[in-house]
Amino acid sequence: MLNFENTMTLANESLNVFMVVPLALCILSFLIPKGLQRAYAIAGAIFFFALSCYEVSQGLGGQTLPWLSQFGIQLGFRLDSVSKWFVVLTGLVTFIAVYLKGNWYRKSPRIFVASSFFMAFALNAAFLSTNLITFYIAYEAVFVPIIFMVGIWGTQTKAASVFKFFLMSFLGSIMMLVSMFYLIYLYQSQTGQYSAQIFDLVQVSKSIAPERLCLAFFGFFLAFAIKVPLVPFHGWVRDAYVNAPMPATIYMSGILSKLGVFGFIRFVLPIFWDQAIQYHGILVTVAAISVLYAALLAIQSKNPRELLSYSSISHLGFVMLGIFSLTSGGVGAAVLLSVAHTLASVVLFMLLHFMSERKEDLTLDRFHGLAPRFPMLFVAFFIAVLASVSLPGTVNFVGEFLVLSFSYPVSALCTVLSSIGVILGTVYMFKFYQYLGFGSPNPKTGAESVAKDIGVFEISILIFMLGLIIYLGFQPAVILRGFSS
Amino acid sequence: MNGEIQPMMMVVVALIVFGIGLFGLLIRKNLLIMLMCIELMLNSVNLCFVAFSKMHQSVLGDLTVLFVMTVAAAESAVGLGLVIAMFRTLKSVDTDQIQILRD
Amino acid sequence: MTGSMIAFAAFSTIAIVGSLLVIFRRTPVASAFALVLVFFSFSGLYALMGAHLIAALQILVYTGAIMVLFVFVIMLLNQDSPITDIKESSLLFKGIAGLACVGMVTVLINAALRVSGLAPTNIYTDQKIEELGGNLRVISELLFTDHLFQFELTSFLLLGAIVATIALSKRQRKGGVS
Amino acid sequence: MNLSYLILLPLFGFLINGVLYLRSTRNSKKVSAELSGGIATVAMLLSFAAALYNFFLLRQLPAEGQLFDQMLFPWFKLAGMSVDFTLRLDPLSSVFCLVITGVGSLIHLYSIGYMHHDAAPAKYFAYLNLFCFMMLNLVLGATMPHVFFGWEGVGLASYLLIGYWYHDPEKVGAGMKAFVMNRIGDIGFLVAMFIAYKFVGSLDFIQIANTPLNPEMTTTLGLLVFFACTGKSAQIPLFTWLPDAMAGPTPVSALIHAATMVTSGIYLLARMHTTIEASATTLSVIAAVGACTAFISAVIACAQTDIKKILAYSTVSQLGFMFVACGVGFTIAGVFHVMTHAFFKALMFLGAGSVIHALHEEQDVFKMGGLRKKLPITFWTFVAGWAAILGLPPFSGFFSKDEILIQSLQSPHGSMPLFLVMMAAAFLTAFYMTRLLVLVFLSPSRMGQGVEKSVHESPLVMTLPLMVLGVASVVGGWFGLPIHEAHVEEAAGSSGRFIMLASVALALVAAFIAYKKYGKTTKVEQVNDIAREGFKIDAFYLSFFGNGTKNVARWMGNLIEQQVIQRMIRWTVAIVDLSGNLLKVAQVGSSQAYLMMMFLAIFAVLAWFLFGVGQYAKF
């Protein structure tokens, strides 16, 4: 049983830094001239990331500020061993997203930079908040910059994909909102006052007959399952990932999906523990199906982005398997694997962007032979692919191995089925790599022939990211330490 | 009736004027006239404030009226500015002509 | 029938008839002058209730400033002829609107009647106002002590309105829209 | 005793060569084969020295306590599962270390000559060193995840080296196939780890060996481990990748696909032999699979024409022998055969490499012949290997192979049918190896004119390893495996002596038949039978599993994804659209109407609050 009480005694009380800084960066970006936007954004993001790391290293903590207390809405924030990693990842992903060059720095760059920082703000608010209502507001606020990004810089069918994305996510979150109100109502009917604090609601859920919470459980489940996404609810992913501009894709795959994972860990498991046990069989089956189904879809896809989007779903299936094992070990492993997936998928999308900057057509139906022309790029790409197929030595392996180890005692069949996803993962990731890198280079045409290998700054970012993947692969204790108790 | 003016009577008059203003706002299509109707309604509300203030032996209502007047002045200035701008672009102050709101 | 009662009857009749004229006259200029009538009668009503400051301001602000603005605009837009080319609202629409308005007024009067039964606060009774130096003095003192902040805020509002109006009615230098 | 040097040296070699290669891509200056190869070889030689040193240190420990653990750093620890990065040296791993670093160094040395003309030798040597690093991790790991780290790592290095010439899609495909098939086997390894964690609570090999499990779990665990081994060691059903893996440079085939990586399956079985031998079912499955593999791949080898493919199928067959040894509960004989096999098979691959190098990448044995005079060193060393694999006394293969044959009959898990199959496989082995030797070296030349003139013996850097391995192939079996002294004596029962004689006689007969058949070959033979295509097993896998998966994936993409999931979304969209259209009726576009609606709404709310919910109106 997971419990999240007793963290209010912790020391760190400067959590508002995580939200004030990105918001300030967001507002300031309107004052910066267009030409300097990228430099400003990179500098700001590095500053923000470094600050996040520093603040996280200062220890865990929590604070509660009164806001609309008569309705049970307080600004409650908490940094615990789960949320701190997501907060750090937010900083990292923000940096990568604003780093990438593209038409978002040509056409209204201010909006892009402001949306990026606003996204960081909303994400951090969601990751830190302990109050359902503030969480919900932040959770919804994340939509705004994404929709801006896809709407302004997306490709051909962006309107449809935005609509699909918005519709599905909104459907889920509306259900969640209703469930939230139901929980708050239950609390009110028990104690006579309003509260949306997670601790209070956990108390309520323990004292109430489990059947009464089933629908509320499904409301929450649906919202997060769409966000993650789990398989029957993944319909929006492909279009959104493919048609979005690269930074938005990186945001979605790198950190937005983790919002769903985080929601499961922080809200669904503590509040709906009994329901999760009751529907345990269904949950692990859904996770296993996500792994396999998405991997098969990835095998048949010809578009690199589509492939990566399906592979994201498949890997998040593993994460969910860890969470649905309903053991503290499984949850710890799921957090580790989330971090691993963010690192790997962000690097892969980034490299894909570098490649498409250099070559327009990257269809996966023939060999492009790019490796000899961009050796550095492809070395990095290969390591990222290895991480993605979770080869030992990368953090992804440790995560996946632990997830499966902890889910095996709970559901052997689903675990073995998911392991097959590992093979399928190898097939599609290597196919992806080989089609792009191997074979003989095609006769060069015009602009393509002058394209150069990646530069020093790019290399240092990649060394940082890949070094992190490998370092954590041997020292996962950095992350796992918080879950060992 | 003891010869004293009851504040309630004032309120009734004010509300009748308010209703007339509302009715005018709904049926007239000339923007200028609509603005005038809004002024009517604002005035009637002012009258209500003063009357209630009197009724409850307070002067806060009077004070509010001062502010409402300021707002009304600002509002009608901006409103008329809008009418002028609209007339310049659409050559009309008739709301029937102004259907760009749809789609 | 006291004098004040006669005055009340006169003013309220003028107000109601005036407002009816406002909405039923075809020419905007006629409506505008009917509106002036209404404003004057309202001023009278204020005076009858002892709110002399408001009465004065009513004349100054509404009749002096706002009405002048209206008339200017009407002249500016050449709206001084009767409006004939407009399709008026349908009878059905008018009927619904009328019914709704009557309903609204009934509801509001009802609400006001409920409120009227409440006990007065007795803070500023008539004689207390007299003791303090009259309506004007009391209001001014409140305005410049307790409500100074709001008072200052209104100046910002007016400034904003000035800027907005200038921006709106300024002629675009290069063609503008169509 | 410090084991970290053993693995760190190849790692440093890998890193230095890797950096050299990456730098060379930036300034487009080639790193010479001598420099990078020198670094790599020195690293390996030093590592060999460390292995030797540690081996002797280990020998000095008392017999029952020959075990040394060295914890490098804790790896992961979560909720009762705790795994450290620990190196463990015991007799088994020390033998493997010696073979890997010893044979590995020789192959590194040989590669300097072989890869002399390659475009990027630094990359090649980096991969080789990476491979050795991973292989050493595999044999030195004290826990299952650590072995798995090496296990996957060697698979990766093998992938990189098979697809080394990646301009050719076919070679890339071969690498991919090897990697994927290995990973299929890895599922067995993974699930075995999960079971071990669940039922033993630890992933340390000693803990697993010492914890008794219930019989079903023991069998399951054993079979899963064995399944993992079939992938890495190319046994039925996962053996088809090994012949294709010959697409890589020949020294790679010698190192990875003959001497070291493919024997890691035997290593794992030996490492977990307590668990394996606790279940008769597991043992009989292993023996049966091993025997089938040995026989079938020997048959296929007889029909091959590509010199490297013959050797590849021969490797598969010999691995089958080793598995039979494990399957009859005599793991140690399997390990002994691993060692001797490493010597003579590496020798033969390197010899084949020398031939191919001399003939400018010609690999068809029917386009060779008469090379005895032209490549004397290669020929004589190759003969040593040939004699060893045939099991002629006193060559090394004799000792190890006959032990396996004897055990397949005499051991409590052995049986007559098993023994007969093994004898048949040994007969076929002698046949196809003689065929190879005769066609390449002894029969009349069938080379083209231009090729024949330029044939020359390889440089010393390539022949030196051949000679060393040749000597090893002769003497390798004399002293027995350092970890069990008395194997020949054990086997020397009266029937044992008879079997020994019978197998040698059989081998000689087979060799004679082959010599008769191919000794005078003058024209290029066209064989097109089913055996040549490996009984079409590969094609079956491709069409059944490969295309099957692809078809399922396509079906899912087209039918489920498009028809169900996307349609679901479309319906939702349609519902939203419909409600939107219904509401659109209200949007007439006239501001009067909007005003009216607004007003009515306000009116309704006001009325509701004043009369509907009366309590709110009580001010």
| Contact across the interface for D610 and C103, Cβ inside 8 Å | no
The predicted model gives A272-279 an average pLDDT of 89
- The first and second tokens of residue D17, run together, are 């060569």
DSSP run (H or E) holding D185: helix D169-199
| Contact across the interface for A297 and D149, Cβ inside 8 Å | no
User: Which residue would you say has higher pLDDT here, C87 or D309?
Assistant: D309
Q: How far apart are CA D57 and CA D41, in angstroms?
A: 24
User: Which residue would you say has higher pLDDT here, C15 or D358?
Assistant: C15
| Contact across the interface for B29 and C8, Cβ inside 8 Å | no
Tell how far CA D539 is from the center of its chain. 21
Number of domains in chain C: 1
Tell how far CA A266 is from the center of its chain. 15
- Is there a contact between D269 and D229 (Cβ–Cβ < 8 Å)? yes
Check whether A466 has a pLDDT greater than 90: yes
Check whether D190 has a pLDDT greater than 70: yes
Q: CB-hemisphere CA count at 13 Å for A49? A: 17
Q: How far apart are CA A291 and CA A295, in angstroms?
A: 6
**In terms of CA atoms, which chain D residue is nearest residue A382?**
D160
Check whether D593 has a pLDDT greater than 60: yes
Model confidence at C82, in pLDDT bands (50, 70, 90)? Answer: low
Instruction: Give domain status of residue C62, yes or no.
Output: yes
Model confidence at C63, in pLDDT bands (50, 70, 90)? Answer: confident
Partner D, chain A 328-367, Cβ-Cβ below 8 Å: 328-329, 332-333, 367
Is residue D533 helix, strand or coil?
coil
CA distance D603 to chain C (A): 6
Nearest CB to B101; choose among D591, D596, D599: D591
Nearest CB to D553; choose among A234, A296, A477: A296
**In terms of CA atoms, which chain B residue is nearest residue C50?**
B54
Neighbours of A349 (CB within 10 A): 28
Q: In this complex, how many residue pairs, one in chain B and one in chain C, have their CB atoms less than 8 Å apart?
A: 233
Q: How far apart are CA A218 and CA A412, in angstroms?
A: 25
Selected for mutation to probe chain D from A383, A426, A463 (highest D CB count within 10 Å) is A426
Paired strand residues for D143: D204
Q: In this complex, how many residue pairs, one in chain A and one in chain D, have their CB atoms less than 8 Å apart?
A: 155
Which residue shows structure tokens 């006259």?
C25
Instruction: Give domain status of residue C161, yes or no.
Output: no
Partner B, chain C 98-127, Cβ-Cβ below 8 Å: 98, 100-102, 104-105, 108-109, 112-113, 115-116, 118, 120-126
- pLDDT tens by residue, A17-36: 888 889 999 999 888 888 88
Instruction: Give domain status of residue A379, yes or no.
Output: yes
The predicted model gives C50-59 an average pLDDT of 89
pLDDT of residue A449: 59
Helix, strand, coil shares, percent, chain D, to 5 = 75, 5, 20
| Contact across the interface for B26 and D592, Cβ inside 8 Å | yes
| Contact across the interface for B56 and C23, Cβ inside 8 Å | no
Give the residue extent of every domain in chain D: 1-74+85-142, 143-532, 543-582, 586-619
- pLDDT tens by residue, D94-110: 888 988 999 999 999 98
- The first and second tokens of residue A456, run together, are 């020093």
Percentage above 90 pLDDT, chain D: 18
Which range of A371-375, B12-16, C129-133 scores highest in mean pLDDT? It is B12-16
Which residue shows structure tokens 């080394």?
D164
Residues composing chain A:
485
Partner D, chain A 238-297, Cβ-Cβ below 8 Å: 293, 296-297
Chain D neighbours (≥3 Cβ pairs under 8 A) are A, B, C
| Nearest of D326, D294, D289 to residue D313 by alpha carbon | D294
Is it true that the peptide bond before A270 is cis, omega within 30 degrees of 0? no
Is residue D68 helix, strand or coil?
strand
Q: In this complex, how many residue pairs, one in chain C and one in chain D, have their CB atoms less than 8 Å apart?
A: 27
- pLDDT tens by residue, A207-217: 888 888 888 89
Neighbours of C150 (CB within 10 A): 14
- The first and second tokens of residue C18, run together, are 């005036």
Model confidence at D488, in pLDDT bands (50, 70, 90)? Answer: very low
Q: How far apart are CA D103 and CA D347, in angstroms?
A: 9
Cβ contacts (< 8 Å) between C35 and chain B: which residues? Answer: 36, 39-40
Nearest CB to C111; choose among D600, D603, D610: D610
Paired strand residues for D87: D70, D141
- Is there a contact between A30 and A110 (Cβ–Cβ < 8 Å)? yes
- The first and second tokens of residue D543, run together, are 């069409």
The DSSP annotation for D474-499 comes to HHTTTT--TT-S-HHHHH-SHHHHHH
| Contact across the interface for D599 and B98, Cβ inside 8 Å | no
- pLDDT tens by residue, A138-184: 998 998 898 888 888 887 776 777 777 888 888 888 889 999 988 88
Instruction: Give domain status of residue C150, yes or no.
Output: no
Q: How far apart are CA D335 and CA D98, in angstroms?
A: 13
- Residue D524: burial class (beta carbons within 10 Å; 0-12, 13-18, 19+): exposed
CA distance B103 to chain C (A): 19
User: Which residue would you say has higher pLDDT here, A170 or A484?
Assistant: A170
- The first and second tokens of residue C36, run together, are 């002036």
Query: In the structure, do chain A and chain C come into contact, i.e. share 3 or more CB pairs under 8 Å?
Result: no
Nearest CB to A299; choose among D73, D553, D561: D553
Query: What range defines the domain where residue A444 resides?
Result: 279-485
Selected for mutation to probe chain C from D590, D595, D596, D597 (highest C CB count within 10 Å) is D596
What type of residue is D163? G
CA distance D591 to chain B (A): 7
Check whether A108 has a pLDDT greater than 50: yes
- Is there a contact between A347 and A253 (Cβ–Cβ < 8 Å)? no
Tell how far CA C9 is from the center of its chain. 19
User: Which residue would you say has higher pLDDT here, D458 or C149?
Assistant: C149
Nearest CB to D587; choose among B25, B26, B102: B102
C31 touches chain B (CB under 8 A): yes
**In terms of CA atoms, which chain D residue is nearest residue A406?**
D194
Is it true that the peptide bond before D393 is cis, omega within 30 degrees of 0? no
Which range of A140-154, A395-409, D106-120 scores highest in mean pLDDT? It is A395-409
- Is there a contact between D9 and D41 (Cβ–Cβ < 8 Å)? no
Contacts of the segment D511-518: beta carbons below 8 A, 24+ positions apart: D511/D390, D511/D430, D511/D431, D511/D433, D511/D434, D513/D431, D514/D430, D514/D431, D514/D432, D514/D434, D514/D435, D514/D438, D515/D434, D515/D438, D515/D442, D517/D435, D518/D434, D518/D435, D518/D438, D518/D439, D518/D443
Cβ contacts (< 8 Å) between B7 and chain C: which residues? Answer: 49, 116
Instruction: Give domain status of residue C101, yes or no.
Output: no
Terminal alpha carbon distance of chain C: 63
DSSP run (H or E) holding A63: strand A61-68
Task: Give B7-97's CATH code, choosing from 3.90.1300.10, 1.10.10.10, 3.40.30.10, 1.10.287.3510.
Answer: 1.10.287.3510
Give me the CATH number covering residue C56: 1.20.120.1200
Model confidence at B103, in pLDDT bands (50, 70, 90)? Answer: very low
Local structure of residue D248 (DSSP, 8 states)? S
- pLDDT tens by residue, D356-368: 888 877 788 777 7
- Is there a contact between A359 and A370 (Cβ–Cβ < 8 Å)? yes
Chain B neighbours (≥3 Cβ pairs under 8 A) are C, D
Instruction: Give domain status of residue A104, yes or no.
Output: no
Range with lowest mean pLDDT among A363-367, A471-475, B32-36: A363-367
Tell how far CA C146 is from the center of its chain. 26
Nearest CB to D599; choose among C100, C110, C118: C100
The predicted model gives A314-319 an average pLDDT of 93
D589 touches chain B (CB under 8 A): yes
Q: How far apart are CA A411 and CA A404, in angstroms?
A: 10
Q: CB-hemisphere CA count at 13 Å for D296? A: 18
Instruction: Give domain status of residue C17, yes or no.
Output: yes
Number of domains in chain A: 1
The predicted model gives C2-23 an average pLDDT of 90
Instruction: Give domain status of residue C63, yes or no.
Output: yes
pLDDT of residue C83: 62
Q: Which residues contact D39 (CB under 8 A, 6 or more apart)?
A: D13, D16, D17, D20, D125
Selected for mutation to probe chain D from A290, A438, A453 (highest D CB count within 10 Å) is A438
Local structure of residue D70 (DSSP, 8 states)? E
| Contact across the interface for D587 and B29, Cβ inside 8 Å | no
Q: What is each CA distance from C52 to A118, A214, C137, in whole angstroms?
A: 53, 66, 11
Nearest CB to D79; choose among A296, A412, A483: A483
3-state SS of chain C is: CCHHHHHHHHHHHHHHHHHHHHHHCCCHHHHHHHHHHHHHHHHHHHHHCCCHHHHHHHHHHHHHHHHHHHHHHHHHCCCCCCCCCCCCCCHHHHHHHHHHHHHHHHHHHHHHHHHHCCCCCCCCCHHHHHHHCCHHHHHHHHHHCCCHHHHHHHHHHHHHHHHHHHHHHCCCCCCCCC
Q: How many helices (H) does chain D have, and how many strands (E)?
A: 27, 2
DSSP run (H or E) holding D590: none
| Contact across the interface for B30 and C54, Cβ inside 8 Å | no
- pLDDT tens by residue, D69-98: 888 888 988 878 888 889 998 888 888 898
A419 touches chain D (CB under 8 A): yes
Selected for mutation to probe chain B from C71, C105, C147 (highest B CB count within 10 Å) is C105
pLDDT of residue A288: 93
- pLDDT tens by residue, D512-571: 888 888 877 766 666 667 666 777 777 777 777 777 788 888 887 777 777 777 777 778
pLDDT of residue A6: 42
Model confidence at A398, in pLDDT bands (50, 70, 90)? Answer: very high
Q: Which residues contact A364 (CB under 8 A, 6 or more apart)?
A: A301, A302, A303, A304, A307, A431, A432, A435, A436
Query: What range defines the domain where residue C34 resides?
Result: 1-81
| Contact across the interface for A171 and D572, Cβ inside 8 Å | yes
